[in-house]
Chain A
Amino acid sequence: MLNIQNLSKRFGGMDVISGLNLHVKAGRIHSIIGPNGAGKTTLFNLITGLYKPDSGDIRFEQTLLNPLKPHRIAKLGISRNFQNIRLFSHMTVEENLRMGQGTQISFGLSSLIPYLHGNKRQSLEGELERVLDLLCFERKRDLPASQLSYGEQKRLEIGRAVCSGAKLILLDEPAAGLNPEESAQLNEFILTIRDHGVTVLLIEHDMSVVMKISDIVTVINFGQKIAEGTPQDIRHHPAVLEAYLGSEEEEAV
């Protein structure tokens, strides 16, 4: 579904991503892990078009993403959340989710015409309620995003990404700031959306999430892939232990 070949990106003389190949299969939960500064977020930024690659190809279902603007890429069916929260802080929870549907319905001049897309709007309403429900935001739906706590904002961002109805969702550290109980709920949530046929590309440092739900894990360091495999393989991979996990101990679930 997503095919990345020989991708490279430099910042100020530093190779942040160098010659990375990545293959994401449809309907999977594909995790990316790696030390801080390994280039994971940069990879997301490259996929979603916020950064332009120095070299290499990114293909999504045959479409070459390299020359596309971020909003085009979003419209192709790729949505994401942000590691540093970027909510529409003056909008309410509900409005934020509604903005997430931007890929599904035109927000342009045609929206000035009343009653256009009536059916579509209705179905989007339903979907919105469902997400509100799933994320337990019903009580806070009318609260401005700025008045949520960190963890709540984090959850809202995930909800917004999910609302887009995208085929591929990129989640950057969704569990950061959630307590174990909540990340367990998050696991359920991610599995649910996967079961709805959505592909998930996940960056996460919380191994209780990664190891439990990933179908495949890619480990990168210094912008290069150092390992790839099932969670079981990765857990015992020496290079990964050395660079990322540290000595093997009680991560076991």
Chain B
Amino acid sequence: MELIQQLINGLLQGSLYSLLAIGFTLIFGVLSMMNLAHSEVFMTSGIMVYILIDKVHLPLYAAVPIVLAGSIALGMVIELVSFRPIRRDYHYAPLASTIALGIVISELVVNLSGSDAKSVPSVIHLSNLQIGEVLISSPQMILLLVSLVSMLGLSYIMKSTKLGRSMRALSESETAAKLLGVHVRFVVVSTFVLASLLAAVAGMLYAIRFETVSPFMGTMVGLKGLAVMIIGGLGNIRGAMIGGILMGLLEVMAIALPLGLTEYADAVVWGMLILILLFRPTGLMGSSVQTERV
């Protein structure tokens, strides 16, 4: 019973990583560049939930659209300042730029709302689901469903729609994409909008589930999201989903199984990442077909 509970714990915990990683991977999949400020969108949406509900006293249904809009705006700002001015040749630059932007965002939040964690009032109490002895947190269940749905939806979009093909074309070569008629700015902005939406949903559900938000909550989760993206394979949406669940399960199992690994939970997770890379240098679902001809 305890093991089943732990498996569920892992699954639910992983869904958060999945959702963030899908955002990461989506952006990478289009720009071939990393957006390390992505996890700050997650954090900001959590903080926004807190401010709107605890300070402005809005009901949840009124807060949600505002948070979504705010996160999309933030995503677009990130695109505007850290990606748009930078040409592809300098693909390292967005690394520094987005880390710095992440610092700016989180420091702004700290300055405006304090460095402490904040407790989010439980405006809607989503009660836990109890199946037999197994306890399932409803917000996390929703998180899992959202990740699944967005994975399926986005995979479909990437594979079979005009937008998806444009995204993939763009990720390979901006010039080629332009010559084929891809509206580069539109595609890039849409990607950021999509990714930010996912991060916002993650942030909100996180706030509801843990009833706590903090200006630093993006860092650790973001790092894991990054690892998940790599485990899944850059740009691979299904990979991100599976990687997230895998990471959640592994993290939980490091604690749950009597192997004396609780203190090493992180080492286990990162160790897995390294192992996977050793055997599959482009992640679990990254393409292993060599497309680079000599």
Contact = CB atoms under 8 A, between A and B. Distances in A.
Asked whether the complex places CB atoms of A and B closer than 8 A, the reply is yes
Contacts of A244: none
Interface in A8-57: 41, 45, 50
Interface residues of B, number: 2
Nearest to B289: A12
A86 B294 CA distance: 9
B293 interface: yes
Nearest to B89: A146
A45 B294 CA distance: 8
Interface residues of A, number: 6
Nearest to B293: A84
A82 interface: yes
Contacts of A50: 294
A82 B294 CA distance: 7
Contacts of B294: 41, 45, 50, 82, 84, 86
Contacts of B293: 41, 84
Interface in A157-207: none
B100 to A, nearest CB: 25
B91 to A, nearest CB: 14
A52 B293 CA distance: 14
Contacts of A84: 293-294
A86 to B, nearest CB: 8
Interface in A74-126: 82, 84, 86
Interface in B252-294: 293-294
A38 to B, nearest CB: 15
B144 to A, nearest CB: 37
Nearest to A90: B89
Contacts of A86: 294
Nearest to A50: B294
B289 to A, nearest CB: 8
8 contacts: A41-B293, A41-B294, A45-B294, A50-B294, A82-B294, A84-B293, A84-B294, A86-B294
Interface of B: 293-294
Given A50-B294, A84-B294, A86-B294, 5 more contacts: A41-B293, A41-B294, A45-B294, A82-B294, A84-B293
